[in-house]
Amino acid sequence: MVSTAKLKPGDRVRAIRELTGLNQREFAEALGVDITLLKNIEYKRNRVTESFYEIIGRTFPEMLPWFVYEGPLTLDSLRNSKSSLCKVAAARIDAGFIPAGFFSEDIFKDGNQ
């Protein structure tokens, strides 16, 4: 299990991927990146580049503050997102599919962080 304190960027990439329910190949395709790059970031062999931050921001705009600095993330923002993948994440949270170890227990309660 990953500690929720001071997650590495690779851990946050994996958390977002698991929250969407996609495997690495599907997630890489959704982001438009090579699967090898995604794996290397998740396994912390590569650093997250500025262009990768931009890709995350375009694909998951409501998750960007959390991805960059573990900033605020609300269930309501995911539900109301224009991003279909953010809406998928919201639906999975509503169904109780929250990946263990990445998010504090109360982060998604009642739309609050």
Domains of the chain: 9-104 (1.10.260)
Q: In the prediction, which pLDDT does 3 show? A: 47
Q: Collect all residues with Cβ–Cβ distance below 8 Å to 36 and sequence separation of at least 6.
A: none
Quickly state the pLDDT bin for 6 (edges 50, 70, 90): confident
Global pTM value: 0.87
DSSP 8-state assignment for residue 49: P
Alpha helices in the chain (DSSP H): 9-20, 24-31, 35-42, 50-59, 64-69, 75-79, 84-94
> What is the C-alpha separation between 4 and 45, in angstroms, rounded?
20
How does pLDDT run across 53-85, given as a tens digit for each residue? 999 999 999 999 999 988 889 999 999 999 999
Q: In the prediction, which pLDDT does 1 show? A: 45
Q: Collect all residues with Cβ–Cβ distance below 8 Å to 28 and sequence separation of at least 6.
A: 34, 35, 37, 38
Q: Say if residue 4's pLDDT is above 60.
A: no
Q: Say if residue 18's pLDDT is above 80.
A: yes
Per the model's pLDDT, the better-predicted residue between 98 and 31 turns out to be 31
